[in-house]
Amino acid sequence: MDWETLAAELSQTTDTRIVLLVMDGLGGLPVDGATELETARTPNLDALARDAVCGLTDPVLMGITPGSGPAHLSLFGYDPLRHRLGRGILEALGSGVEVGRDDLVARGNFATLRDGRIVDRRAGRIPTEENVRICKFLNDNLPKRDGIAVSLFPGREHRFVARFTAPDLSDALSDADPQKEGRPPQPAAALAPEARDTAEVVNRFLDDAARLLEKEPKANAALLRGFSRFPSIPSMTDLFRLRPAAIAGYPMYKGLARLLGMTVLETGEKTSDLFDTLEARFQEHDFFYIHYKKTDSAGEDGNFAAKTAAIEEMDAFIPRLRALKPDVLVVTSDHSTPSLLKGHSWHPNPFLLHAATAGKDDVDIFTERACAGGILGRFLSMRAMPLMLAHALKLTKYGA
Amino acid sequence: MDWETLAAELSQTTDTRIVLLVMDGLGGLPVDGATELETARTPNLDALARDAVCGLTDPVLMGITPGSGPAHLSLFGYDPLRHRLGRGILEALGSGVEVGRDDLVARGNFATLRDGRIVDRRAGRIPTEENVRICKFLNDNLPKRDGIAVSLFPGREHRFVARFTAPDLSDALSDADPQKEGRPPQPAAALAPEARDTAEVVNRFLDDAARLLEKEPKANAALLRGFSRFPSIPSMTDLFRLRPAAIAGYPMYKGLARLLGMTVLETGEKTSDLFDTLEARFQEHDFFYIHYKKTDSAGEDGNFAAKTAAIEEMDAFIPRLRALKPDVLVVTSDHSTPSLLKGHSWHPNPFLLHAATAGKDDVDIFTERACAGGILGRFLSMRAMPLMLAHALKLTKYGA
């Protein structure tokens, strides 16, 4: 029996509450002998670690660097090697674009085309209002060919989401994006025989858009990448009998949460907003996913000091979390983002679980190295969900 | 998706270099309170451990004692429960015998037959020159039956490799070897219906050989075991985009390396030869497997002091390894060989990984017990390859 079948069989709804705080990209590497987490002053996280059990998690497999999609899927209890999500679908859902069973979506950029070559892949980062105007113009004027509906949804600056609606579209397509400037536009290519018709649909759209945008000074071409159809993935309610909620600011994470059936709660952009929202809605759900982006952003920028500061900023909110007395409180990351590497990495995530049913181990500070000595050992992130459910007494016995 | 598919998708060739030093059978068990590794004076390995991350590996699964084949396959990133290699194929490849798709190979012994019973399974360890003469005699005089070619390749003393060439031979055969002296020769038996014809071919050869060797005073019969066909296994270049090289003295390890597509570098018999070869060829490859046999041999002999001395001998070469500045340096064993047990065992292997992308953990000496507290935790040996590739920046991101 696989884990998803087992989960559906053993999960039960209870009154207990789980809070999963994801400090995106938290794990790091030493610079001058200490990681960002070791350098940060974190009295509240350390106190929590002393009252909790700790370990280290691998998002996919040891050595594998995950994108945000697989890293989060794993934390939510899904096997990231079984379920693969296209970037387009995450972007679409995160932007609030509704995606159904007959839809194919892709991430789009407006770009500048000169003499047959893409000279600026971001069309000079046109203002968002320009983007809104251009998307509306295209939606109103694109010819509808063969009954296939195409809709564009503006994002920030030059970014948009494209949605094609028709039965039997395929997402086995290469990106319609030359990736580098100075090259001609690149049509989408079918990566499987059944995608040939879809490639034609997409490339006709790109031609239509370029023709309609001919007079635009900057945004006179469109690029598309990350083609994806709506994936078939069971919801967290189906699998775990949860009423889950997400508190996240960025489209990508909201999109992923919607895909898994979480209610996305409205929140603001400040770190304190995450906790205001949690406190206001704490009675309505039994699983809360809180996403904190700053740690990852600083790591991606290679900014050790900013990442350290982001950790300290979050540390100050830990008492507010504990004051709510969730039955299970987990603090961890989806993947590591060492400032040293300026990007996601394969290094394991520090993991801390606090619950009345968990006891304590000997870990007395919350760092990568200290967590290595925790009672949970080193485990796959996808095992975090059964652990959280168990500590919340949401899993019944397996077998007699 | 399985690991091999994932590896082929994520691996990329880079200029970075990986060195994997396998101290065969390194892991041990305490005698008078300390293992061989704990007893040995290893200032260089200890210093390396202080600058590295450590853990413990299980070659196959906890509790499973592996042969050299599965133990090495696992270290090279192959699932040892998916790929099974016959001992015959390893011996053949290690002896430099070419093996193709239509070949069946086996390990052979010349033996002494008296009054219908095997009285010496090693034919008094006849001199190698005798073996060469007898193999040539048989190759020249064996009748060719049903178009099936049989070739014998002499090894040391009484050992040889037998190769049968014909389409559709099967390796589902029991050993044609009574295993103990005082018993009559034992024909090969088909272990599956499709192996019946092959069993006949093999047993006819054994009869022919005994007839032709009737006059030999010692080597008047042949025994065969470990029947194996050429396995279908992807190369390390196919899976990991590596240009791998092996530096090993023993046939078995050279054979395994060739099977996986490694270039086997010429080297001498002294321990220093391994490092002379590494230094001379360091620019030509991006993955080096160095095999050190003495630790295992001493363990197999139950010689605690000799194993301790072998560890100390290797320790002295660690500075030469570090001076080459490989991007990733791993020191571990394929399996444990405790002197106490005089053979391979299921105990986990101490594992140490040094890389600029790895940081350090709190392990300050290189022993089995100290490695148990390392940040890598306890993991399957087959995860060592993704870890080495990752630390050498040879794996791209999984998913968006």
* Chain A contact set for B327 (CB, 8 A): none
Q: Choose the closest CB to A66 out of B361, B375, B399.
A: B399
Residue B385: closest C-alpha in chain A: A63
Q: Distance between CA B353 and CA B48 in Å, rounded?
A: 9
B-chain CB neighbours of A62 within 8 Å are 376, 379, 383, 386-387, 390
- Give the per-residue pLDDT at A50: 98
State the Cα–Cα distance between residues A344 and A57, nearest whole angstrom. 15
What mean pLDDT comes out for the span B300-324? 98
Average pLDDT of chain A, as a whole number: 95
B383 within 8 A of A63, measured Cβ to Cβ: yes
- Taking the C-alpha atoms of residue A272 and residue B73, their distance in angstroms, rounded to an integer, is 52
- Pick from A100-104, A116-120, A338-342, B324-328: least confident: A100-104
Cβ contact, residue pair A69, B400, below 8 Å: yes
The tokens for A42 are 């974190």
pLDDT digits (tens, 9 = 90+) for B138-196: 999 999 888 899 999 999 899 999 999 999 999 999 999 998 899 999 999 999 999 99
Q: What is the ipTM of this complex?
A: 0.85
Tell if the CB–CB gap between B398 and A70 is shorter than 8 Å. yes
Residues of B with CB under 8 A from a CB of A: 1-3, 6, 10, 357-362, 373-379, 383, 385-391, 395-400
Chain A nearest-CA distance from B382, in A, is 10
Q: Which of A29, A39, A61 would you mutate first to test chain B, the one with the most B CBs within 10 A?
A: A61
A 10 A CB-CB count for A141 gives: 11
**Percent helix, strand, coil in chain B (nearest 5)?**
35, 25, 45
Nearest to B390 among A63, A67, A372 (CB): A63
Q: What is the largest CA-CA distance in chain A?
A: 73
3-state helix, strand, coil in chain A (%, to 5): 35, 25, 40
Distance from CA of A283 to the nearest CA of B (A): 33
pLDDT tens sequence across A40-91? 999 999 999 999 999 999 999 999 999 999 999 999 999 999 998 877 887 8
**pTM of the predicted protein model:** 0.86
CB contacts, 8 Å: A82 with chain B: 1
| Closest chain A residue to B392, measured at CA | A63
Taking CB atoms and an 8 Å limit, are B395 and A64 in contact across chains? Answer: yes
**One-letter amino acid for residue B130 of the chain:** E
- What residues of chain A have any CB closer than 8 angstroms to a CB in chain B? 29-30, 35, 56, 60-70, 80-82, 84-87, 90, 226, 340-341, 344-346, 348, 368-369, 372-373, 377-378
Rounded to whole angstroms, the Cα distance separating B28 from B33 reads 12
Q: What is the mean pLDDT of residues B284-290?
A: 98
Asked if residues B223 and B121 have their Cβ atoms less than 8 Å apart, the reply is yes
Closest by Cα among B229, B236, B240, B318 to B272: B318
Burial per residue of B59-94, b for 16 or more beta-carbon CB atoms within 10 angstroms, e otherwise = bbeeeebbbbbbbbbbbbbbebeebebbbbbbbbbb
Q: Which pLDDT value is given to residue B97?
A: 87
Question: Whole-angstrom Cα distance, residue A374 to residue A190?
Answer: 49
Q: For the CA atoms of B378, A82, A94, A178, what is the dihedral angle to 10 degrees?
A: 100
Contact B398 A56 (CB under 8 A): no
Angstrom distances, CA of residue A210 to CA of A119, A218, B191:
14, 12, 68
Characterize the bridge pairing of strands A159-165 and A18-23: unpaired
What pLDDT band is residue B100 in, cutting at 50, 70 and 90?
Answer: confident
Tell me if B377 and A373 make a contact (CB, 8 A cut-off).
no
Does B86 have pLDDT greater than 80? no
pLDDT value for A88: 82
The nearest alpha carbon in chain B to A346 belongs to B390
For residue A93, the distance in angstroms to the closest alpha carbon of chain B comes to 14
Res A270: pLDDT: 96
Q: Which of A31, A56, A64, A256 to mutate to test the interface with B (most CBs of B within 10 A)?
A: A64
Write the residue in A90, A340, A373 that is nearest to B400 by C-beta: A90
Q: What percent of chain A shows pLDDT beyond 90?
A: 88
Taking CB atoms and an 8 Å cut-off, how many pairs form between chains A and B?
93
Instruction: Look at A64 and B386 and tell me if their CB atoms are within 8 Å.
Output: yes
Interface test with B, best of A74, A346, A351 (most B CBs within 10 A): A346
pLDDT digits (tens, 9 = 90+) for A117-160: 999 999 999 999 999 999 999 999 999 888 899 999 999 899 99
Q: Which amino acid is at B21?
A: L
Best residue in B76, B79, B398 to probe A by mutation, most A CBs within 10 Å?
A: B398
Once rounded to an integer, what is the mean pLDDT over residues B329-347?
A: 97
Query: Contact at 8 Å (CB) between B154 and B160?
Result: yes
Residues of chain B above pLDDT 70, percent = 100
Per the CB < 8 Å rule, is B386 touching A62?
Answer: yes
Confidence at residue A95, expressed as pLDDT on a 0 to 100 scale: 80
Q: Averaged over B300-320, what is the pLDDT?
A: 97
Would you state the pLDDT for residue B250?
Answer: 86
Largest CA distance in chain B: 73
Asked if B377 and A65 come within 8 Å (Cβ–Cβ), the reply is no
Give the strand order in the sheet containing A244-247: A263-264, A244-247, A287-292, A18-23, A328-332, A349-355, A53-58, A377-380
Answer whether A120's CB lies under 8 Å from A113's CB.
Answer: no
Q: A190, A203 in Cβ contact below 8 A?
A: no
Asked if B3 and A61 come within 8 Å (Cβ–Cβ), the reply is yes
Nearest CA in chain B to A68: B400
Q: Report the distance separating Cα A98 and Cα A121, nearest Å.
A: 26
Q: Are B5 and B382 in contact (CB under 8 A)?
A: no
How many residues are present in chain B? 400
Query: Any alpha helices (H) in B142-235, and if so which ranges?
Result: 196-212
**Cα–Cα distance between B116 and B102 in angstroms, integer?**
33
Name the one residue in this structure whose structure tokens are 């200029």: B15
- The pLDDT of residue A94: 74
pLDDT at B37 over 90: yes
pLDDT score of A139: 96
Percentage above 90 pLDDT, chain B = 88
End-to-end CA distance of chain B: 16
Distances (CA, A) of A331 to A19, A36, A61, A352: 9, 16, 20, 5
A345-374 pLDDT, tens digit each? 999 999 999 999 999 999 999 999 999 999
CA dist A95 and A135 (Å) reads 14
Q: What are phi and psi of B205, to 5 degrees?
A: -60, -45
CA atoms within 13 A on the CB side of A400: 0
Taking residues A106-112, what's their average pLDDT? 95
Amino acid found at B143? P
Band (pLDDT 50/70/90 cuts) for residue B332 is very high
- Could B398 and A66 be called an inter-chain contact, meaning their C-beta atoms sit closer than 8 Å? yes
Instruction: For residue A160, give the nearest of A209, A232, A233, A197 by alpha carbon.
Output: A209
Q: Are B173 and B236 in contact (CB under 8 A)?
A: no
Which residues, including other chains, have CB under 8 Å from residue A180's CB and lie 6 or more apart?
A: none
Write out pLDDT tens, residues A293-325.
999 999 999 999 999 999 999 999 999 999 999
- Tell me the average pLDDT of chain B: 95
Minimal CA separation from A183 to chain B, in Å = 24
Whether residues A226 and B400 touch (CB distance < 8 A) is answered with yes
Residue with tokens 């949460």: A257
- What is the mean predicted confidence (pLDDT) over B88-92? 83
> In the prediction, which pLDDT does B92 show?
86
The encoded tokens of residue A189 equal 């290519």
Nearest to A112 by CA among A206, A222, A209, A226: A222
Q: Which residues of chain B lie closer than 8 angstroms to A29, CB-CB?
A: 357-359
Q: CA of A173, closest CA in chain B: separation in Å? A: 16
**Chain-chain contact of B360 with A30 (C-beta, under 8 angstroms):** yes
B396 confidence band (pLDDT: 50, 70, 90): very high
State residue A147's pLDDT score: 86
> Which of the residues A35, A62, A89, A361 would you substitute to probe the B interface, choosing the one with the greatest number of B C-beta atoms within 10 Å?
A62
> How much of chain A, in percent, has pLDDT values that exceed 70?
100
User: What pLDDT, on a 0 to 100 scale, did the predictor assign at position B379?
Assistant: 97
Q: Does the structure show a pLDDT above 80 at B87?
A: no
